[in-house]
Homo-oligomer: A and B are copies of this chain.
Amino acid sequence: MEYRRIKDQDKIGDPVKEDIESLRGKALLDVPAPYDKTKWKMKSIVTLALTFLTSSQAILIVWSKRAGRYEYSVTTANFLVETLKCALSLVALARIWRTEGVTEDNRLSTTVDEVSVYPIPAALYLVKNLLQYYIFAYVDAPGYQILKNLNIISTGVLYRIILKKKLSEIQWAAFILLCAGCTTAQLNPSSDHVLQTPFLGWMMAIIMALLSGFAGVYTEAIIKKRPSRNINVQNFWLYVFGMIFNVVAMLIQDFDAIVNKGFFHGYSPITVLMIINHALSGIAVSMVMKYADNIVKVYSTSVAMLLTAVVSVFLFNFHLSLAFFLGSTVVSVSVYLHSIGKLQR
């Protein structure tokens, strides 16, 4: 649903010009006003959609754990998520072809030059997901949640290096605060264990943060490299390689389980909801990459994390800790500083 609404907006304006310009690191203020407004609207819609989907995703995960159903194999679910994203992109494309006809920008066929970079993000995520199984030899699950906040810093650094976009000094300060605030909000009495993580564990956490940050930033680079290309075509090719690499992961990790118990073993209605949610979130991430950037993505998912906790108070009788309030305050100030920092560029 979110996806359709986003897609329909696509026809209103052509954000191509600004995309090229922002890729070249030019100031937004140079862009004529009408472009600016459409871009702003698009950016807001996809950002809100991502925030909403990410927080409902976390709530579904808690819900499915409470229901005691978590026995399906994660790799089959991931494969289905990629397949659903692929299908949704094709449905969206079919609608566009019907109204606009097939053009240079929305045709599905591609060149080796264009398609050759698309497997890279999927391959990086595969390596990251495989590493994830080994890091638990060094840290426990809550510790890993804490270490995952390193993603925020790695994304910022790689965004600067690879996309060559500058953040102002205040925005860098805001980014450090975002990382510290998210971590603070997640603190619990056993969090200090993470300080005893052995050197190898730290190294793996840093490598995983770099892989995940690089995959995100590289996806943005791919999508923005051809701004006039229809996002649904770009998504289709990204997700095709996502499917392929998830088949590899399935064979490596769950081949025996699938052969013995069947592909859909342990699936429940909640699992289906989670797959649909993951697929829509994935599409929202691509949209954010097209119409906004990785920085917006990081803020959006961080705010979603806080929203999830607040919603969980009502849904699951969660108690919010003092650390959560302090972390949320720091994240809020960070969001404020990020927007202030932009104006002063």
Is A326 in contact with chain B by the CB < 8 A criterion? yes
Is A123 in contact with chain B by the CB < 8 A criterion? no
Determine, out of A186-194, A207-215, A266-274, A301-309, the stretch whose residues face the partner at the interface: A186-194
- Of all chain B residues, the one with the shortest Cβ separation from A193 is B322
Give this chain's copy count: 2
Is A29 in contact with chain B by the CB < 8 A criterion? no
Is A333 in contact with chain B by the CB < 8 A criterion? yes
* Contact with A323, one of B173, B184, B330, B344 (Cβ below 8 angstroms): B184
The listed residue with most B CB atoms (<10 A of its CB), out of A173, A321, A337, is A173
Shortest Cβ gap from A332 to chain B (Å)? 9
- Of all chain B residues, the one with the shortest Cβ separation from A337 is B173
CA distance A22 to B326 in the complex (A): 33
Q: Is the Cβ of A192 less than 8 Å from the Cβ of B322?
A: yes
Determine, out of A57-65, A175-183, A257-265, the stretch whose residues face the partner at the interface: A175-183
- Of all chain B residues, the one with the shortest Cβ separation from A143 is B322
CB-defined contacts of A326 to chain B, threshold 8 Å: 180, 183-184, 187
Q: Is the Cβ of A180 less than 8 Å from the Cβ of B329?
A: yes
Is A146 in contact with chain B by the CB < 8 A criterion? yes
Is A21 in contact with chain B by the CB < 8 A criterion? no
Residue interface mask A315-345, B partner, CB < 8 A = 1: 0000001110011011001001100100010
CB-defined contacts of A180 to chain B, threshold 8 Å: 326, 329-330, 333
List, sorted by A's number, 15 A–B pairs whose CB atoms are closer than 8 Å. Answer: A169-B340, A170-B340, A173-B333, A173-B336, A173-B337, A177-B177, A180-B329, A183-B322, A187-B323, A189-B189, A191-B322, A192-B321, A192-B322, A330-B330, A344-B344
Q: A169-B340, A170-B170 are in contact. List 18 more A-B contacts (CB 8 A).
A: A170-B337, A177-B330, A177-B333, A180-B329, A180-B330, A180-B333, A181-B330, A183-B322, A184-B330, A187-B187, A187-B322, A187-B323, A187-B326, A189-B189, A192-B322, A195-B322, A323-B323, A330-B330
